[in-house]
């Protein structure tokens, strides 16, 4: 799930023409946190997802969406 959130966030950020640094300035999260999130190394809370989605003008659900064709695992 971390990888999905990271990919979605990076895509949404780029689509809005924002750099990691701009997102960091607007959100209060560090650029290192944003980078780790996009690489799937951070496990964001629902509050973090909400706050970051607000910065890129998306919904938290957009950040959690599983891309079509991506195999899902059940545990």
Q: Residue 72: inside a domain, yes or no?
A: no
Number of domains in the chain: 1
CATH number at residue 23: 1.10.260.40
| Cα(40)–Cα(26) distance, integer angstroms | 21
What pLDDT is recorded for position 68?
A: 74
Q: Residue 69: inside a domain, yes or no?
A: no
Q: Are 52 and 29 in contact (CB under 8 A)?
A: yes
Q: Residue 36: inside a domain, yes or no?
A: yes
What pLDDT is recorded for position 67?
A: 76
| Low-confidence residues in the chain, pLDDT < 70 | 69-75
Q: Residue 75: inside a domain, yes or no?
A: no
Q: Residue 40: inside a domain, yes or no?
A: yes
Give me the domain span that covers residue 8.
2-61
Q: Residue 9: inside a domain, yes or no?
A: yes
């Amino acid at each position: 799930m971390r990888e999905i959130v990271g990919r979605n966030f990076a895509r949404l950020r780029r689509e809005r023409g924002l750099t990691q640094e701009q997102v960091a300035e607007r959100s209060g999260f560090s650029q290192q946190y944003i980078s780790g999130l996009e690489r799937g190394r951070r496990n964001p809370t629902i509050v973090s997802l909400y706050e970051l989605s607000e910065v890129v003008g998306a919904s938290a659900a957009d950040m959690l969406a599983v891309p079509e064709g991506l195999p899902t695992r059940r545990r």
